[in-house]
Amino acid sequence: MTQTYVLTDLDKLEAEAVHIFREVAATIERPALLFSGGKDSVVMLHLAAKAFWPAPVPFPVMHIDTGQNFDEVIEFRDRTVERFGLRLIVASVQDDIDAGRVAEIGGPLGPRNKLQTVSLLRGIKENQFGAVFGGARRDEEKARAKERVFSFRDEFGQWDPKNQRPELWSLYNGRHHKGENMRVFPLSNWTELDIWNYILREQIDLPDLYYAHQRTVVERDNMLFVVNRFIEPGPGEQPFEATVRFRTIGDATCTGCVESAAATREAVVAEVAAARITERGATRADDAISEAGMEDRKKEGYF
Amino acid sequence: MSQLLRIATAGSVDDGKSTLIGRLLFDGKAIFEDQLGAIETASAARGFDGPDLALFTDGLRAEREQGITIDVAYRYFATPKRKFIIADTPGHIQYTRNMVTGASTADVALILIDARNGVLEQSRRHAFLATLLGIPHLVLCVNKMDLVDYSQERFNEIRTEFEAFASKLEVRDLTFIPVSALTGDNVVTPSAAMPWYEGPALLGYLEELHVASDRNLIDARMPVQYVIRPQQADFHDFRGYAGTVAGGVFRPGDEVVVLPSGFSTMVTNVWGPGGTKLDEAFTGQAVTIELADNLDISRGDMLCRPNNRPVSTQDVDAMICWMDSDLTLATDATYTMLHTTRDTRVSVKELEYRLDINTLHRVEEAPSLGLNEIGRVRLRTQKPLHFDAYRRNRDTGSFVLIDEATNNTVAAGMILGPSQNEPNIVWHSGAVTREHRRTRGMTLWLTGLSGSGKSSVAVEIERRLVAAGQPAYILDGDNLRHGLNSDLGFSPEDRQENVRRVTQVARLMADAGVVAIVSLVSPYRADRDAARAAHDADEIPFLEIFMDTPLEVAEARDTKGLYAKARAGEIKDFTGINAPYEAPLRPDLLLRPSDGDAGTLAGIVIDRVEQT
């Protein structure tokens, strides 16, 4: 075969992400990678490991723990961090609640996604992180579609969408003063389907929740929620058995699942390729709050 | 294999740009149901009849509230044939910086024209910015064809008018497509209403567009981004230079030169991400390269090939687009420049002109550049840059400027080349010695029969040296006889005087830091030996290069028709026919036509120059 010197789409996305990891490691002091055990953060960690081979990943990972996680995901998190030989920093939302830094919304089982911002900012400050890698993708949400790969946060951790640094070619400006930080998104140009194609190609392990399995669920706001210690059937809600899988994994109180028979990586790729609803639209109750829900949370310092 | 295609669009709501993109995404089945649902809800809330597809691309609250696009929005869609990334940018002049940002990585630019209005200032500006940013392909979508009765005549008028304008720009590939974004004609499916148009619909065009050849696969460049030293038992001696290949191809066994040190070594291994062993690494790949020698190499250094180096200099001319709303570009101000993986302080020596991006007129003596303004500047960097002109390589020819107080990115720049008008350096005799000069000169003396190929090789040597930042100048025997040696003929005495004068000129040039490339028949051994002796006396390097082309070959070429005239007796004292040629006994280099073409032979010479 003649060499055409053309990279596949996945190779191109991989090269771009690897470039970004190396750029941060070379130019910004004390980076950290946000790791939740969700598929995007798992792919991110996999890419980071490839970027620095044969050396170990030269930064720690941080988990913003809402305290309302799926047990399988926490086990997966600990197993993965150990396999890569990394240091895990946990910034706990419960700590912030206990210390009175944030108030719970809607009682002890209320959603804690919004509360994560305080813990995230505290984690960054306490560890003096100059850059934090996040797994956000521009295809997820319309405010994220406008965000830079290197996204500057002021000393209050805030994003100013109207005053973003121009970002051209592959020249990234990560300069900041003490107390400010950068959020860096190596997966900016990936879509959900790219992520799954890559998971398949690289045979990346994920929590089992991503694959079809039997669960007791209730239907709420046109979404399916797993009945567990965080979600109890409400008045008029009838629990039933279903074969489901999760398209995203976040706080267990607000992450829904979808009916699916996709039990393998191949089957999920086929399902995602045919999907007609975005992953956040299908399974995230928190984003549906308002037209600018994500933009408002990001301005406050959210991922 | 198809390749990811990056599209830049610019325009305002009036052009129907958002409708066009919405239509591409919608008909290309890339808008999801929940997204359409959200748009329908929002459209209804604003009192619109149908879904306003512009709401899909305008992601920020302020954009939706004001009904305008402020920032670059990235959109993703894929067809079975290809994956697309659209950088959607606003069209008004106050958002030029956003357009420039979106255009910086694009393969193709979509420019919309309202068929009723024809080519407006805005369309011309967009086309200019697209070419300034080096987007290889330009597509003019003549939109709202439904409102001009799908008129072929109107389409052709617009086409002719735009082509006339485009002839002033550096457009590599220009395509015109008549569309109606509202009705969908020629967007995804070919239009039945315009049978006279025989080209593809927009989506079909984008799916088939060939972009693989737009990359630079010739000039091997890898800026070192990060040095990987595991210092663990399994990889104790591993030292890898990680980076993204910015041009050309690197293979194990290749000889490479490291800039700025100039040391050369050999590639021993090329690793892909995660330790995949590669036979070669090419443009766009993120790799880790191991080298044979332990050299002092760090981030910001550049790997290249011995005979194909980027330009290295501290003085560059560039076009820049100013992007900061609070500050303006000031002459003599200092900024931080990010260029490849290098950063350096830079000062603006001169703002040569500001470009009126609507009229393309140069405004000389502009005092400064403000937000969204574009101009040509002369810069001086603290550390030398290793670059190629932007038009040759977007990765090694681009830079951004950062304000040192705010850390904001204030300008984007495209390098035109080394500075054309460096200030004259005034020196007094003896104050500057050869060691102080930025470059070291020498004399390359090419001798051989008329028609032996001296001039072709000399031209190629000069071109390559100058491209590598080394001043060089050809002293061509024929040309010198028009001026310096116009009083001399071809007798042995005159030839001797000819050689003596050229020797002195070459010696002065070489002393001044220039590589003097002498291309002269110089048939007498004694004359050439005298030239060498004059150089040796001043300790200036001198290479005698013998173009050993047999008489039959040179005569068969007879590029200037001189052999024929000599044979016919019209020219006396013609070397090889009726005057002798004394071949060098011990030339420093011997070149034969069988060794290769002029380029190859020049490469051999330059290799030798580098060893001298």
Instruction: Find out whether B191 and B142 touch, Cβ atoms under 8 Å.
Output: no
Cis, bond preceding B260 (omega within 30 deg of 0): yes
Q: How confident is the model at residue A286 (pLDDT cuts 50, 70, 90)?
A: low
- CA nearest to A173 within chain B: B409
More confident of the two residues B138 and B422? B138
More confident of the two residues B397 and B69? B397
Residue B64: pLDDT above 60? no
- Concatenating the DSSP letter of every residue in B414-460 gives EEEEE-SSPPPPP--TTTS-GGGSSS--EEEEEE--TTSSHHHHHHH
- Paired with B380 in beta bridges are B315, B347
Q: pLDDT tens across A21-69, in order?
A: 999 999 999 999 999 999 999 999 999 999 999 999 999 999 999 888 8
User: Which three-class secondary structure state does DSSP give residue B67?
Assistant: coil
pLDDT at B3: 78
Q: Which range (A294-298, B225-229, B253-257, B496-500) has the least confidence?
A: A294-298
Query: Of A225, A138, A223, which Cα lies nearest the Cα of A185?
Result: A138
- Paired with B318 in beta bridges are B377, B415
* Predicted complex ipTM: 0.90
Task: Please count the other Cβ atoms lying within 10 Å of the Cβ belonging to residue B429.
Answer: 5
Question: A54–B234: do the CB atoms touch at under 8 Å?
Answer: yes
pLDDT at B427: 34
Question: How far apart are the CA of B71 and the nearest CA of chain A, in angstroms?
Answer: 7
Q: What mean pLDDT do residues B324-343 have? A: 93
More confident of the two residues A108 and B607? B607
- Paired with B316 in beta bridges are B379, B418
pLDDT at B54: 60
Count, residues in chain B:
612
Contacts of A291 in chain B (CB under 8 A): 38, 42, 61, 64
Question: How far apart are the CA of A247 and the nearest CA of chain B, in angstroms?
Answer: 15
What b-and-e string marks burial along B304-324, b requiring 16 or more CB atoms within 10 Å of the CB?
bbbbbbbbbbbbbbbbbbbbb
**Separation of alpha carbons B19 and A288, rounded Å:** 25
Interface size A-B, in CB pairs within 8 Å, comes to 189
pLDDT at A282: 60
Q: Which of B6, B25, B34 to mutate to test the interface with A (most CBs of A within 10 A)?
A: B34
Contacts of B64 in chain A (CB under 8 A): 291-292
User: Which three-class secondary structure state does DSSP give residue B239?
Assistant: coil
Q: What mean pLDDT do residues B327-331 have? A: 90
Q: What mean pLDDT do residues B307-334 have? A: 91
More confident of the two residues B300 and A278? B300
User: Which three-class secondary structure state does DSSP give residue B257?
Assistant: strand
Residue B55: pLDDT above 80? no
**Separation of alpha carbons A239 and B103, rounded Å:** 52
**Separation of alpha carbons A12 and A170, rounded Å:** 13
Contacts of A282 in chain B (CB under 8 A): 34
Q: What mean pLDDT do residues B126-154 have? A: 94
Tokens 């068929």 correspond to B115
Amino acid identity at B286: A
Q: Which two tokens stand for residue A250?
A: 């976040």
More confident of the two residues B48 and B8? B8
pLDDT at A293: 60
Tokens 């206990």 correspond to A98
Average of per-residue pLDDT values in chain A: 87
Question: B409–A173: do the CB atoms touch at under 8 Å?
Answer: yes
| DSSP annotation of A288 | G
Contacts of A16 in chain B (CB under 8 A): 286
Q: What mean pLDDT do residues B213-231 have? A: 91
pLDDT at B30: 64
Instruction: Find out whether B214 and B107 touch, Cβ atoms under 8 Å.
Output: yes
Torsion, Cα of A11, A16, A19, A21 (10° steps): -100
Task: Please count the other Cβ atoms lying within 10 Å of the Cβ belonging to residue B93.
Answer: 13
**Separation of alpha carbons A236 and B130, rounded Å:** 59
**Separation of alpha carbons B84 and B77, rounded Å:** 5
Q: Which of A44, A53, A283 to mutate to test the interface with B (most CBs of B within 10 A)?
A: A53
- Find which of B1-15, B388-402, B492-506 is predicted with most confidence, using mean pLDDT: B388-402
Q: How confident is the model at residue B562 (pLDDT cuts 50, 70, 90)?
A: confident
Task: Please count the other Cβ atoms lying within 10 Å of the Cβ belonging to residue B167.
Answer: 9
Cα angle B213, B219, B221; round to 5:
115
Q: Which range (A8-22, B142-156, B542-556) has the least confidence?
A: B542-556
> Which of A22, A47, A173 is nearest residue B225 as measured by Cβ atoms?
A22
- Look at the alpha carbons of A12, A18, A22, A25 in this order and tell me if their dihedral is positive or negative: positive
3-state SS string for B93-133: HHHHHHHHHHHCCCCEEEEEEECCCCCCHHHHHHHHHHHHC
Q: How confident is the model at residue B431 (pLDDT cuts 50, 70, 90)?
A: very low
User: Which three-class secondary structure state does DSSP give residue A20?
Assistant: helix
B196 touches A at CB < 8 Å: no
Tokens 């240091």 correspond to A87
Q: Which range (A94-108, A124-138, B567-581) has the least confidence?
A: A94-108
| DSSP annotation of B74 | E
B217 touches A at CB < 8 Å: yes
**Separation of alpha carbons B581 and B528, rounded Å:** 12
- CA nearest to B36 within chain A: A277
- CA nearest to A138 within chain B: B74
Q: What mean pLDDT do residues B226-252 have? A: 92
B81 touches A at CB < 8 Å: no
Task: Give how far Cα B181 sits from Cα of A54, B20, B27, B43, Å.
Answer: 51, 5, 11, 18
Contacts of B7 in chain A (CB under 8 A): none
Question: B1–A4: do the CB atoms touch at under 8 Å?
Answer: yes
Is B450 an annotated catalytic residue?
Answer: no
**Separation of alpha carbons B66 and A160, rounded Å:** 17
- CA nearest to B298 within chain A: A26
B34 touches A at CB < 8 Å: yes
> Which of A4, A138, A281 is nearest residue B74 as measured by Cβ atoms?
A138
> Which of B35, B105, B323 is nearest residue A281 as measured by Cβ atoms?
B35
According to DSSP, the β-strands at B334-339 and B398-402 are: antiparallel
- Paired with A303 in beta bridges are none
pLDDT at A255: 82
Percentage with pLDDT > 70 across chain B: 89
Question: A54–B238: do the CB atoms touch at under 8 Å?
Answer: yes
Which of B123, B180, B419, B522 is labelled catalytic?
Answer: B522
Instruction: Find out whether A282 and A223 touch, Cβ atoms under 8 Å.
Output: yes
> Which of A50, A146, A282 is nearest residue B71 as measured by Cβ atoms?
A146
Q: What mean pLDDT do residues B270-288 have? A: 96
User: Which three-class secondary structure state does DSSP give residue A261?
Assistant: coil
pLDDT at B138: 95
What b-and-e string marks burial along A6-35, b requiring 16 or more CB atoms within 10 Å of the CB?
bbebbbbbbbbbbbbbbbbbbbbeebbbbb
**Separation of alpha carbons A8 and B298, rounded Å:** 30
Question: A291–B402: do the CB atoms touch at under 8 Å?
Answer: no
Q: Cα Rg for chain A, rounded, in angstroms? A: 19
- Paired with B88 in beta bridges are B9, B73
pLDDT at A170: 93
Question: What's the half-sphere exposure (Cβ side, CA atoms, 13 Å) at A161?
Answer: 26
pLDDT at B122: 84
pLDDT at B428: 35
Q: pLDDT tens across B574-585, in order?
A: 888 888 899 898
pLDDT at B6: 94
pLDDT at A108: 63
Residue B11: pLDDT above 70? no
pLDDT at B241: 97
Contacts of B280 in chain A (CB under 8 A): 3
Contacts of B46 in chain A (CB under 8 A): none
More confident of the two residues B359 and B7? B7
> Which of B70, B225, B234 is nearest residue A26 as measured by Cβ atoms?
B225
More confident of the two residues B595 and B156? B156
Residue A297: pLDDT above 90? no
Q: What mean pLDDT do residues B411-425 have? A: 76
Question: A173–B38: do the CB atoms touch at under 8 Å?
Answer: no
Contacts of residues B421-430 at CB distance under 8 Å and 24 or more positions apart, as own/partner, are: B421/B378, B422/B315
Q: Which two tokens stand for residue A58?
A: 């030269």
**Separation of alpha carbons B532 and B538, rounded Å:** 10
- Look at the alpha carbons of A123, A125, A126, A132 in this order and tell me if their dihedral is positive or negative: positive
* Strands (E) located in B245-371: 249-250, 255-259, 263-272, 276-277, 281-282, 286-291, 302-304, 311-322, 334-339, 342-355, 362-364
Within 260-289 of B, beta carbons closer than 8 Å to A belong to 271, 273-275, 280, 282-286, 288
Instruction: Find out whether B315 and B383 touch, Cβ atoms under 8 Å.
Output: no
Q: pLDDT tens across B106-122, in order?
A: 999 999 999 999 988 88
Question: A143–B59: do the CB atoms touch at under 8 Å?
Answer: yes
**Separation of alpha carbons A88 and A123, rounded Å:** 12
- Of chain A, the end-to-end C-alpha distance in Å amounts to 45
Residue A198: pLDDT above 90? yes
Q: How confident is the model at residue B52 (pLDDT cuts 50, 70, 90)?
A: low
Residue B360: pLDDT above 60? yes
Question: A168–B338: do the CB atoms touch at under 8 Å?
Answer: no
pLDDT at B184: 86
pLDDT at B430: 40
pLDDT at A120: 92
Residue B274: pLDDT above 80? yes
Question: B32–A55: do the CB atoms touch at under 8 Å?
Answer: no
Contacts of B569 (CB under 8 A, 6+ apart): none
Q: Which two tokens stand for residue B254?
A: 């290749």
Question: How far apart are the CA of A296 and the nearest CA of chain B, in angstroms?
Answer: 9
Residue B48: pLDDT above 80? no
pLDDT at B506: 94
Q: How confident is the model at residue B2 (pLDDT cuts 50, 70, 90)?
A: low
Amino acid identity at B115: A
Q: How many helices (H) and strands (E) does chain A have?
A: 9, 10
Q: pLDDT tens across B507-540, in order?
A: 999 999 899 999 999 999 999 999 999 898 888 9
Question: B400–A166: do the CB atoms touch at under 8 Å?
Answer: yes
> Which of B83, B286, B395 is nearest residue A169 as measured by Cβ atoms?
B395
- CA nearest to A222 within chain B: B34
- Paired with A220 in beta bridges are A223
User: Which three-class secondary structure state does DSSP give residue B489?
Assistant: coil
Contacts of B226 in chain A (CB under 8 A): 22-23, 25-26
Q: How confident is the model at residue A281 (pLDDT cuts 50, 70, 90)?
A: low
> Which of B104, B339, B402 is nearest residue A173 as measured by Cβ atoms?
B402
